[in-house]
Amino acid sequence: MSRRVQIDDSNPQPPQNDDVPEDDSSSVQRDEPEEKIRKRDYMDIRSHPNLMRLLNKQGDQIVLFADKVLKFTGSGKMKHRYLMITDFAIYLIDPESDSLKRRIALAAVEKICVSELSDNFLAVMIPTEYDLLIASARKNEIITAFVEAYEPEVVSSNRFEYNAASDLVKEIEFEEVEGGVKTRILRK
């Protein structure tokens, strides 16, 4: 079952059908209740006109997930970003300026790598570009949105390599320690 919500902010009038009484609200059916879908829109995209314009300009109409995440740069710095997953692409947006930093077509995603431990890291592997390493407390919901949108392979391992930049490969290791998970990002 697909969990999707239309983000079109216009209010088109429904087509007139004289055969159905006006008070028959049961004639409208949805794939999924909107309240349930909107639970994954932690940013309330509809209240951000700049983000709505950006999505409409790109032609994306359905948001499967939206929230703030930490993105790791090739140099190891952490940047706050808005992460939006639509039915066609992944968007990374600068929260200070609402400017698009990166758009990745879902068709370009080869797989998603996660650890077997309870940490917040996830890597999106994109063979034609550099990979995306992010951290979010909603890691499982992000994976669910990816799987619903495009069904990429999801690989669980406590060690994997990723392309932090076009010419830089890094390895990320996860180790269970007393009180949590220790994460190391090493240059290869």
Can you give the residue ranges of every domain in the chain?
Answer: 32-187
Give the per-residue pLDDT at 39.
Answer: 61
Q: Which residue has the higher pLDDT, 60 or 16?
A: 60
Q: Return the higher-pLDDT residue of 13 and 51.
A: 51
Handedness of CA 106, 90, 126, 176 (dihedral sign): negative
User: Residues 140-176, buried b or exposed e (16+ Cβ, 10 A)?
Assistant: ebbbbbbebbbebeeeeebebebbbeeeeebebebee
pLDDT, residue 106, reads 96
- Give the rounded percent of residues in the chain with a pLDDT score beyond 90: 71
Higher pLDDT, 85 or 19: 85
What pLDDT shows up at residue 30?
A: 38
Locate all alpha helices (DSSP H) within the chain, ordered by sequence: 34-38, 49-58, 139-150
- Is the predicted pLDDT of residue 184 greater than 80, yes or no? yes
The residue-averaged pLDDT of 154-176 equals: 96
**Which whole number is the average pLDDT over 127-156?**
95
Higher pLDDT, 9 or 71: 71
Binning pLDDT at 50, 70 and 90, where does residue 8 land?
Answer: very low
The pLDDT of residue 38 is: 53
List, in order, residues 6 or more apart from 164 with CB less than 8 Å away. Answer: 72, 73, 74, 130, 131, 133, 170
- Segment 76-127, tens digit of pLDDT: 999 999 999 999 999 999 999 999 999 999 999 999 999 999 999 999 999 9
pLDDT for residue 2 is more than 80: no
CATH number for the segment(s) 32-187: 2.30.29.30
**Greater model confidence, 47 or 37:** 47
Asked whether residue 37 carries a pLDDT value surpassing 80, the answer given is: no
pLDDT at position 16: 40
